[in-house]
Amino acid sequence: MVGDPRFLPHPVEAIGQLIQFLRRKIESFAGENTFSLRLGGTFLTLFVISLSCGSGWIIEQFFFKGHYLSIPNQIRYIILVLALASSLAARSLSQGVSNVLISLNDNLPYEDLSLARKELSHIVGRDVENLSKKDILRATAESASENAVDGIFAPLFWMIIGTFLWSNSTTLPGPLAMAWLFKASSTIDSMLGYKIGKLRWLGESGAKLDDVLTLIPCRLVLLTLPLISKNWIKAPSIIRAAWKDGVNDISPNSGLSEAIFAYCADIRMGGINKYKSHYISKPILALQAPPASKESIKKIITLYPRLEIFWISIMISIHMIIQ
């Protein structure tokens, strides 16, 4: 599975620290003024994504454009592949989901969900303190489905866009620059994109940008995931059903992401979730499917590498045709 190498420093950590620093400064300056918070949030978003994209572009130029370093091409591409892999959360997402499933130890003589709730809190934004085992499994399935787009396929899509830009001119942003641009946007949304308190205004621009950058990748997942699932022959009907269910979500992307995984892995999702003491009702997805189980959640994880390979194969084929 293509994913983030554990031995490398993760760019998201640096991006997160910068966002926290800027947030404190903006909130201190803006106080309760909504216009200032919005303006500060827009500045934060533009600054962080520009710095992230620019850093990726500089690395690309330094290693690949000029003759600054006498490094063999093999080493150059190893560096690029490792940097790109750090932008894909396939391994960390799969591990986080697996940790929740392992912590649900069915062999114990009593049911202790404290460890499972703790592991779940690492991959979801909802409140987990009082969740039952059934709720934990549903939350895990939904997180594995929604975060697959944010953590794997959206950055992969922007890498592919950067690759095609690079093939036209190496002075344009390439795969690393575009991947880091998306990761910056996604991190801003995950940290500030809550409609509560000051974040309602401070995180508004970041949340909207993330929705825009995820729009196409999400719909490509909707169209392609059935093609690599066991029910590929029913792909048109699966896509229609997932669209019908997912489009009712308040998010333009997460509902569709969850819906297509719900149908392809045969898991019923949706219901009432609690976020920071606020209750949100999510539409029911794949109503006729059984509720989430350990086995069905593992199906979701197995779909990740298959769809990654499918996308990369399509990209290589298109690139060979247009060359």
**Per-residue pLDDT tens over the stretch 160-212:** 999 999 888 888 999 999 999 999 999 999 889 877 788 889 999 999 999 99
How far apart are alpha carbons 139 and 293 in whole angstroms?
A: 11
Name, in order, each residue with C-beta under 8 angstroms of 284's C-beta and a sequence gap of 6 or more: 245, 268, 269, 270, 271
Flag whether pLDDT at 86 surpasses 90.
no
Helix (H, G, I), strand (E, B) or coil at 274: strand
Partner residues linked to 291 by β-bridges: 268
Q: What's the pLDDT at 128?
A: 87
Flag whether pLDDT at 1 surpasses 60.
no
How far apart are alpha carbons 149 and 146 in whole angstroms?
A: 6
Q: What's the pLDDT at 69?
A: 59
Q: What percent of the chain has pLDDT over 70?
A: 93
Interval 70-99 mean pLDDT:
82
Mean pLDDT: which of 13-22, 107-116, 268-277 is highest?
Answer: 13-22
Interval 301-319 mean pLDDT:
91
| CB contact at 8 A, 85 and 2 | yes
Interval 40-54 mean pLDDT:
95
Residue-wise burial string across 10-27, b where 16 or more C-beta atoms lie within 10 A, e elsewhere: bbbeebbebbeebbeebb
Interval 124-148 mean pLDDT:
91
Higher-pLDDT residue of 318 and 284 is: 284
From 33-37, 68-72, 145-149, 159-163, the region with the lowest mean pLDDT: 68-72
Q: What's the pLDDT at 263?
A: 96
The DSSP secondary structure of 174-229, one letter per residue, reads -HHHHHHHHHHHHHHHHHH--SSTTHHHHTHHHHHHHHHHHHHHHHHHHHHGGGGS
Which residue is associated with the tokens 């949304």?
Answer: 189
Flag whether pLDDT at 253 surpasses 50.
yes
What is the token pair recorded at 310?
């499918």
pTM (predicted TM-score) = 0.89
- Phi, psi at 6, each rounded to 5°: -70, -25
Residue of 95, 2, 6, 154 lying closest to 301 (CA atoms): 95
Flag whether pLDDT at 116 surpasses 50.
yes
* Confidence class for position 221, pLDDT limits 50, 70, 90: very high
Flag whether pLDDT at 110 surpasses 70.
no
| CB contact at 8 A, 146 and 257 | yes
For helices 294-322 and 254-265, angle between their N-to-C axes, nearest 10 degrees: 110
Residue 304 one-letter amino acid: Y
- Phi, psi at 172, each rounded to 5°: -80, 160
- The number of helix segments (H) and strand segments (E) in the chain equals 13, 2
* Confidence class for position 7, pLDDT limits 50, 70, 90: very low
Flag whether pLDDT at 13 surpasses 90.
no
- Phi, psi at 275, each rounded to 5°: -125, 115
How far apart are alpha carbons 6 and 61 in whole angstroms?
A: 25
From 71-85, 112-126, 163-177, 235-249, the region with the lowest mean pLDDT: 71-85
Provide the phi-psi class of 48: left if phi over 0, else alpha when psi is between -120 and 50, else beta.
Answer: alpha
The DSSP secondary structure of 27-41, one letter per residue, reads HHHHTT-HHHHHHHH
Higher-pLDDT residue of 44 and 126 is: 44
Flag whether pLDDT at 3 surpasses 90.
no
Q: Hey, CA dihedral for 224, 225, 226, 228, is it positive or negative?
A: positive
Interval 310-317 mean pLDDT:
91
How far apart are alpha carbons 135 and 27 in whole angstroms?
A: 35
